[in-house]
Structure 1
């Protein structure tokens, strides 16, 4: 018994050495060792002081890092700052959203949350392709707003017209971008139908695997440029008049409100798929279409445009026929894929008003109903879908 008791201190010494040497031997951050028991209980990575939800980098890095480091906690990342704060009144790291983005190092591999306090941030913001894994976290779409006012006919610093894509108040080229509880606006006035040079983008997303939750997008013509890549919009509010969602993205809009401010004729979505080999398209699931004006629900911007509405409510504002072939000169009516599945509301009947739009059965609609449409199983957390 005496020998057993005398060995107890030595046992505790060994345990202490183990915890001190493990980070050095296995290249594991100290805070990971200290929090491993919490991780197993919660099945989450190391939390910031704000307990923010994991961002796209968490999902993206988990499997690859696990295979390369030999330790299943390594994906949590090295010790370092992950939270940047912005407050227009100055009581934060930065007063400007762009300054906060600029502070992120190029080729970033961490989850960076830029927490933006309530306020109207009147500035143009660009997130370059070299800065992935950034999250804009607002305090609510009604109180945290980034806005600007450029139109396509306005001239840039080089004296040339901006044209549509460069009018965006916020442009994101980076992959794995996330935005939560924030709004993006272009405050240029709404044009009348036929007016040229009035395109005014509020937000342009050109990066892959972008996620938006509880966000607002406000503008008139060309509000949301869903340019390229896979994107997921959940419970967002999107407002505009003409083609207020446009581009060649491969995107799902789930439980969103699409609100028209058109005074005469308007349109919701214009998709620019150019080839039958492209997997792009807009899938609207469980959405609500409201507002004013006679409204086309989709237009064939590209020869093989693809737009599907499922389980969507249409108010009594849908234009006769429901769909538009854009230029009325080609044979797009033979190549586009426009479809509806189990939609409802006083305007739902008009959505099927042309022969080249399809009333889908379940088997045909199924690929457009789940996050697998954007390969979301690999980059969207289950609780975010």
Structure 2
């Protein structure tokens, strides 16, 4: 396909997701027009309005004119880097080394992957990758040999890593992630991860598109955004902590076989709205992959909120011993009354562990829940209500 055709495909993909981007009040996905009112959204809107090849043009300009001076007011020359924070990156210490990523060339690296590649193999020192505001259109992979890496963005509505692979284009859902982390002790703060592939309809083959895959142990995420549609966040394996994060998707948008605690997170469905009175279910928040009773894995959601569009489930039993608990969670009426699904395998009704505890909102009514769903008491809920669920007192 031609160059402009390829970028047109990317533009259509971006438009598809951004049409239902995130809102600042987390009630429903953002409309495209409201992007102009957000600092990050305004930048995306400007990029889109310039055409699909704008990103390439900007890249070429920066490559050839990275430190070019330009006239400001006719009296003095200024650089685009003049306002760059003077203390970034800070000096190396005994415990931490900081790399700086800025797409305008104002510090160490212009791409995130280049900074990851520069981190030492099997380093015991924390490598902080400070990422300036902007959209970083690249696929990023952190291999197992690079532990102790931290991504520090400038706000989940200011800094984003964006790509558009699907299960078809990457030869499998597991490989489609815009960012994929296989190393231990990863941290991300104040940054978004996006997959802008076209939004699939339920049942589409090969259209799954992961925004982020975490397959390392002892990872934590603070104030991060995860944007996609089907299979947004691949919470693959290991112990993980998510705090104050925004996670948007449509079908199974948090899936995997990790042991993870999600605290104070916003879970926003972008499934197609369902007309009043129709019983169609067109989305699900979770699909956990526990395969045996001996596996100590599961997803626990504490003080979360669930909103958005569609008529969705809290979870589907991707594997027969799937384990998911929602506690102190506010649920809007987009949650279908049955709440959960056994993935059309009645045999798993005896083995799944789906529980709810002290949840509220129109979607939290348990009177019509599937018969295998547990209304947890204080004792049953206790293991899922703090960081001990992920052994966080040992590493977090």
User: Scaled by the length of structure 2, what TM-score is found?
Assistant: 0.74
Aligned to 1:303: 320
Aligned to 2:372: 356
Residue-pair matches, total: 301
Unaligned segments of structure 1, at least 5 residues: 1-48, 53-76, 157-161, 381-385
Q: Distance in 2 between matches of 1:267 and 1:176?
A: 29
Aligned to 1:174: 183
Aligned to 2:222: 213
- Asked if 2 retains the 8 angstrom alpha-carbon contact of 1:113 and 1:134, the reply is yes
- Asked if 2 retains the 8 angstrom alpha-carbon contact of 1:243 and 1:270, the reply is yes
Unaligned segments of structure 2, at least 5 residues: 1-86, 275-281
Q: Distance in 2 between matches of 1:258 and 1:119?
A: 24
Q: Secondary structure at the match of 1:168?
A: coil
Alignment of structure 1 residues 169-248 onto 2, 5 Å:
169-248=178-257
Q: Secondary structure at the match of 1:260?
A: strand
Q: Which among 132, 136, 145 is matched to residue 160 of structure 2?
A: 145
- 2:93 is the counterpart of 1:84: no
Structure 1 segments, 4+ long, off by >2 Å, are: 49-52, 77-81
Alignment of structure 1 residues 337-356 onto 2, 5 Å:
337-350=353-366, 353-356=369-372
- Asked if 1 retains the 8 angstrom alpha-carbon contact of 2:290 and 2:320, the reply is yes
Q: Distance in 2 between matches of 1:314 and 1:341?
A: 12
Q: Distance in 2 between matches of 1:293 and 1:81?
A: 45
CA root-mean-square deviation: 1.7
Alignment of structure 1 residues 1-385 onto 2, 5 Å:
79=94, 82-154=97-169, 156=170, 162-263=171-272, 265-326=282-343, 328-350=344-366, 353-380=369-396
How far residue 335 of structure 1 moved from its aligned partner, in angstroms, is: 0.4
Once structures 1 and 2 are overlaid, which stretch shifts more, 344-353 or 251-260?
344-353
Aligned to 1:23: none
How far residue 329 of structure 1 moved from its aligned partner, in angstroms, is: 3.3
Q: Go from structure 1 to structure 2 and tell me whether the alpha carbon gap of 1:351 and 1:173 turns closer, same or farther (over 3 Å shift).
A: farther
How far residue 280 of structure 1 moved from its aligned partner, in angstroms, is: 0.1
User: Scaled by the length of structure 1, what TM-score is found?
Assistant: 0.76
Q: Go from structure 1 to structure 2 and tell me whether the alpha carbon gap of 1:221 and 1:351 turns closer, same or farther (over 3 Å shift).
A: farther
- Asked if 1 retains the 8 angstrom alpha-carbon contact of 2:94 and 2:125, the reply is no
How far residue 320 of structure 1 moved from its aligned partner, in angstroms, is: 3.0
Q: Distance in 1 between matches of 2:101 and 2:291?
A: 40
- Asked if 2 retains the 8 angstrom alpha-carbon contact of 1:340 and 1:352, the reply is no
Q: Distance in 1 between matches of 2:111 and 2:131?
A: 9
- Asked if 2 retains the 8 angstrom alpha-carbon contact of 1:116 and 1:136, the reply is yes
